[in-house]
Every structure is written in structure tokens, then in C-alpha cells.
A and B are shown apart, each in its own frame.
Chain A
Amino acid sequence: MVLKGLSEAAGVAGDEKDVRNLILDRICDLARTEIDALGNLIAFKGKGTGKPRVMLAAHMDEVGLILSRVERNGLLRFKKVGGIDDRILPSQPVRVGPGKVPGVIGAGPVHLQKPEAQRAVFKTEDLYVDIGARTREEAEQVIKLGDYISFVTAYQEFGDGLARGKAFDDRVGCTALMEILEKDYDFPVYAVFTVQEEVGLRGAGTAAFRINPDLALVVEATTCADTPETEEHGEATRLGQGPAVSLMDATSIADRRIVRHLVELADKNGIPIQYRRATAGGNDSGRIHLTRTGVPTASLSVPCRYLHSPVCVISLRDLEYTIQLLGLFLDSIQKGGFRL
């Protein structure tokens, strides 16, 4: 299973190498590939002169931490890379740096805490990673300042066709793009595995500039709050009800023509599809659609519960439907069934 390997690989924004190499290994025989100055992996498929030039994008990076100080007692202070809820950090195992040094983010024993302290949320600046080193010198033998720190969660399938693991945002998108590269097209298809989405959509823009596409589709994982304690209007998406197509988020308004076509294709082929019923958040579309003189762009997402946490949950059927719909979308372009 491609997703298992991708999910378990460490790839905090700015440190996507492991993920990139995993993907490259699988696709280097399927497509022409190049890596740009920022580290985006661009895979080209199809005929270079045809129309339209289609860009598909999924980001390789995940949220994580970066080592900001080694204390004299050997404990490691860190800063967040990307949006992580402080509240999920205590009591987590992690991996530090290229050596994947195991460590844990601890939390004080409940027995020694004063009641008022227990009412306060842990703050990042009070937390640290313990790798078992007793002194700065001992720690610095295996780690160094600036090392990236990632969560470590074993991928596992469970429940009614679901999977739990880390970094499904956006390794599900990467998985979908890798599938797409198995087929051939007679128009130019660029599958881009972008970097640094989680720290401000940094990679997608430069890749889009280079490709200069006629249209783009971002394949993402998006928030799914179809869970207790959330009102129905806040759930954004529902797990197991197919890919979610965005209308608008904080960084872009989706191209309505692409959206309409995706929905029609899904309906015609019996693929469940849903609208992403939230406008908060953003993804690589935010950069891509503003590239050069503008690129018609839309996003198709796999709903994901507990997004940005060490244990994300997706429905594997949603991922499968996303891949199918993506395939149908490209097929219909090939057959001339979609024009802007």
C-alpha cells in the first residue's frame, strides 16, 4: 500500500526529502521527472504540445516541529512548523532529525499538579522533547539545532474501511497523483508533488510558474468534523461520502467550470461527491490560481478527521473515489469533453 509508506515517512515542511525519494522511486519509470529549486517534484506525462496543459498538485510536506534549543540538561525545545493545536502535543512520541532519533514530548505527572495549573492548556514554550540524553553534549552527539521533528504513528486500517495514521494531509493527494501517472495521456499532464504547503503554500506557486498550466486541480486532504460536539453546519465534510469539492476557502474561489464538470462526472458515473461546506483554511490553489496571468483552479479533497494531529482518520473508499474521479476528469479532457 503506497499510502502506508508515505504516511509513515517523515516530511515536515522544508524537509520533504524522504517523501520525495519514496515517490520518485515509484514514478521514475512512469513519467519524466525533475526537481525544482525549492524541492517540488514535477512529473510530466503526455504530449508536450497538446492542449490543455493540466497541472495536478498534492503537497508532500506535513506539519511538525523544529528544534530551536538544546538545554543544558539535554532536553530539546522546539517551535511549531505549520498549524498544530498545542493541546495535542503533550504525551507524544516523536523522531528528531535525519537520524530519526526517538524522543518523547512529556507532560508532568498529574499527581504533582496544582488544580489551577490543570485548568490551563499546555503551551508549546513549556514543552520539550526528551531523547534520554542527560546533558547538552550527550544530546548534540545525535541531534543538532534546526533538526526537524516529526510525529511517529504506525499506519493502520480499522473500522469500516477506514485508516488511521499521520500526515494523510496530504499524502492521500500524493497517493492519488501517483496512481494517475500509471496511465498515458495525449495532452500534457503535470503531476506536481509540492513542498511547504503547510507554512504558507510556498512551493505550489513556483511550480505553477514553471509549468504555466491552462488549468489546475489540487488534490488535498480536508477537514472533516462529522463528529460529536460539532453542529452539523460546522462539519465541513462527511467521512465516507466521497471526495469533497471546494467552492471557496480563505485563499481562493474555485473555478466554477471545473467544479461543475467534476460534479457532473461524479453523478454520471455513480461516484459520491460532496461540497466542502466551510470557507476557512486554504491550500495550494491559493498560489496556483494567482500565478502569472491567472490559472483556473479547483480542489478535490479526501475528508480527514483529526487533521494536523498524529492520528488522522480517512475512509479508504473516499480515497478510491477521489482517484477514480481524477481519472475520469483526465479521460474527459482527453476526449474533448471538457473545455474552458
Chain B
Amino acid sequence: MEAVELLERLSTEWGISGYENRVAAFWEKTITTVVDEVRRDRLGNAIALKKGAGEEPRPKVMVAAHLDEIGLMVTKVDKGGFLRFTTVGGFDPRVLLAKEVTVLGKKPLPGVIGAKPPHLLSAGERKEVVKVEKMFIDIGYGETRARELVSVGDPVVLKRRFERLQGKTVAGGPFDDRAGLVVLYETARELERVRHEADVYFVGTVQEEVGVRGSVVSTYGIEPDIGIAVDVGFGDMPGTSEEDTIELGKGPAVALGPNIHPNLHRDLVEVAKSRHIPYQLEIAPGPTGTDARAIQISRTGIATALVSIPLRYMHTTVETLVTSDLVNTAYLLASFIGQVDKKYLEGLKWS
């Protein structure tokens, strides 16, 4: 499967934080063809191991991308059968109005997010952002039937359209972080052709969007020598500063800052340069909002890196990226992993 097809397919698999089973199962089914074993840990992280060619004990590299997406959860079946909801993960409430959703009740239920209509708003109200508490989901059933079909706590996913835009640009989502899962698969596929000493653990983590939780336990379980998080980074767009963003189509962004082991950053850049892989830099002044945050402080500490895929309109229903960035990210990771051996790990020690 080509990267863009896999991205489209993964985007249609529901998986809000805490309910990642569906997307995990599909991702496992895909990656199992290019790894040696696949297992699920007790929190639901999907762990795919691709064994290295080195002598045991082999270096262990963990590459993580998160399975979960932001979504909604039913808090009340209200009068008339309308559903009240809360957010799971960080939403700008302004992008929720007039969106199609699927409520995962007794069966998947199509719905629409509504609010007080504009013609009934006062001039003052029209300038105000509608709070999530004032919105509702319309599933088109009266109260009795709605109560039969929906329970408080049912997850709700936002519907997206996978759109092929100009060139290699695609829109829809959730590409945060299904794009990372594609990169993990592509990296494993690339490693079929690259001799690597290290055992590589490709981990689809759970519950990243609610506080990087899956990576806490999966890193502990794997106890890697090197941890690399693959996530999306803020793409350039009007209204944001160039300082805070990375450019679409210009390759993966290799992060640097306290969350990142300086040698890993340096060597990822070196590999990009020597292999002529386009890359860019992303400055992270503190713990990043990615799995790298948790990986770094697991057990006695893990040498950690973060590679970011440029993404516009993050956490909306029209997340936009350029697919060549996925392929380049995978190529960079495979090339880097290919050179990790015991001696390389020695070099990571502080002196």
C-alpha cells in the first residue's frame, strides 16, 4: 500500500483517546507484514518488533507514533433526544459548529453538531465564541429512542473527508498522528532493505492527546536505548510566526531542545545531509507536547529524539499535509536506524 493510501485508510479508523482498539487493529494488520512480531501491552499500546541483525544483546530503538485522535464524549441525553458532550483532547470550540459526527452508541449513529441559530442571536452574542456546553449533537431521534441507543460516556468521532489537493497535498485527518503511524510502517518497510544491528520497536501509543500516557508504560516495558517520537508539527500558515512553524513539503523537522538528546539531533541532521533528504529544524524550548515528553524520563532516562511532519490546521477536521514529507521522514529514520550499533550507543553517554 502506498503511503497516501495507507494514510487515507488509517484516517477512517475511529480511535479517540482511550478507544484506540479499532485503529490499533488495522495498523497491526498492516505493519505485521514487515516486522517479526506484534503484541499489545496492558494499556493497549500496539508494539511491533523488527529484529536486528546484530549479536545479542542488541541495541533497542523505539519509534513511537500515537494511535489516538481527539474527539468528543456524550455527557447527557437531553430533552428531545439531543446529546450534550465534552471534548476529549484539545479542541478549539470554534471549529466544531456545523460538523458531521458519528456517535458510537449501540450502533454508529450519524449526527450533526448544532447550536443556537444565528438569526436568534443578539448582536453581542454573535461576536462571542459558542461554548462547548452550549452546543449539542443532533442524531435525529426522539428522546426515548435516543436513550435506548446512546449512553453517557459514548465516544463521538468527527467526520472528515479525505481530500486530494494540488500536488502531493492531502487534507482531512485525523493526520495527527495517523501520519506518524504511516511513517512507522514506511520505516519498517524501508528497513527490510537496510541491514540494521538494532532491534526496532515500532509502537502505536494510546492516549497521547490526553497527556502522553501510552508512551509512559510502553517505554517502560521496552526499555529502549533510543526513543524517537514521530508526530506532527505546526505547518506554516497566515497568522502564525515563521519562528513557530515548519514548512509543508520541505521534509521532516528534526527537533532540538532539552527534550532531545543533542547527539541524536546532530546525527539525524547528519544522515539527512549525507543522504540528501530534505529536513528542517524545529525548536522545542521545553518538554514537547508529544510522546518524546514521556519517553525521555522513563526508568533511568532514555536518549530521545523527535521528528515532526509538517501539518497545517492541526486539531481541525481539515488537517493538511504533503505526502512526500511522510516518505522523507521514513527514509531519514530508516537511514539513521541503520547506523545504530553498540558503539553508537557508547557515544550517547555523557562525558
> Which residues from chain A sit less than 8 Å from chain B, CB to CB?
73, 75, 85, 87-88, 90-93, 101-113, 118-122, 126, 128, 130-134, 138-139, 142, 152-154, 156, 158-162, 164, 223, 225-230, 234, 280-281, 305-307, 309-311, 313
- Docked Cα-Cα span, A128 to B313, in Å, equals 12
Per the bound structure, the CA–CA distance linking A75 and B235 in Å amounts to 14
Interface residues of B in 170-224 (CB under 8 A from A): 170-172
- Minimum CB–CB distance for B342 against chain A, Å: 39
From B52-60, B137-145, B296-304, give the one contacting chain A.
Answer: B137-145
Q: Is the CB of A121 within 8 A of B120?
A: no
Q: Across the interface, do B318 and A106 meet the contact criterion of CB distance under 8 Å?
A: yes
Whether the Cβ atoms of A230 and B116 lie closer than 8 Å is yes
B164 touches A110 (CB 8 A): no
29 contacts across the A-B interface (CB closer than 8 A): A88-B98, A91-B95, A91-B318, A93-B161, A93-B171, A106-B313, A107-B318, A113-B92, A119-B129, A120-B129, A132-B169, A132-B171, A134-B248, A134-B249, A138-B167, A159-B109, A159-B110, A159-B140, A159-B141, A164-B100, A225-B116, A227-B136, A229-B115, A229-B116, A306-B98, A306-B138, A309-B98, A311-B99, A313-B138
Interface residue ranges, B against A (CB under 8 Å)? 78-80, 82, 84, 90-92, 94-95, 97-100, 109-112, 114-120, 126-130, 134, 136, 138-142, 145, 161, 163-167, 169-172, 234, 237-240, 244, 248-249, 289, 312-318, 320, 322
Q: Which residues of A contact B169 (CB under 8 A)?
A: 132
Chain A: minimal CB distance from B150 (Å): 12
- Minimum CB–CB distance from A253 to chain B (whole Å) comes to 19
Tell me which of A93, A118, A280, A307 has the highest count of chain B C-beta atoms within 10 A of its own C-beta: A93
Q: Which chain B positions have C-beta within 8 A of A120?
A: 127, 129
Chain B residues positioned under 8 Å from A152 (CB to CB): 161
Q: Are A106 and B237 in contact (CB under 8 A)?
A: yes
* B118 and chain A: residue at smallest CB distance: A85
| B313→A104 contact, CB < 8 A | yes
CB distance from B85 to the nearest CB of A (A): 12
CA distance A43 to B145 in the complex (A): 43
Known pairs A102-B165, A162-B140, A311-B100; A280 contacts B238 (CB<8 A): no
Distance between Cα atoms of A230 and B78 in the complex (Å)? 13
B136 touches A229 (CB 8 A): yes
With contacts defined as CB atoms under 8 Å apart, how many contacts are there between chain A and chain B in the complex?
A: 194
B139:A122 contact, CB within 8 angstroms: no
Contacts of B165 in A (CB 8 A): 102-104, 130-132
Chain B residues closer than 8 Å to A102, beta-carbon distance: 163-165, 171
Given A102-B164, A132-B165: A111 and B289 interface contact (C-beta under 8 Å): yes
- In the complex, which of the residues B90, B142, B320 contacts A111, with contact meaning CB atoms closer than 8 Å? B90
Known contacts A130-B312, A306-B114; can you find 18 more A-B pairs with CB under 8 A?
Answer: A87-B94, A103-B163, A106-B320, A108-B239, A109-B314, A110-B315, A119-B129, A120-B129, A130-B313, A132-B171, A134-B249, A154-B161, A160-B140, A228-B84, A228-B136, A305-B138, A306-B98, A307-B117
Residues of A with C-beta under 8 A to B316? 90-91, 106-107
Known A158-B109, A226-B80, A229-B134: A109·B234 in contact at CB below 8 Å: yes
Q: Determine if A104 and B141 form an interchain contact, defined as CB atoms under 8 angstroms apart.
A: no
What is the CB-to-nearest-CB distance from B343 to chain A, in angstroms, rounded to a whole number?
Answer: 39
Contacts of A88 in B (CB 8 A): 97-98
Task: Identify the 10 closest CB pairs spanning chains A and B, nearest first.
Answer: A159-B140, A132-B165, A132-B169, A106-B313, A104-B318, A132-B166, A109-B314, A91-B95, A162-B140, A91-B316
Candidate in A126, A132, A161, A164 with the most chain B CB atoms within 10 angstroms: A132
Instruction: Report how far A186 CA is from B127 CA in the complex, Å.
Output: 54
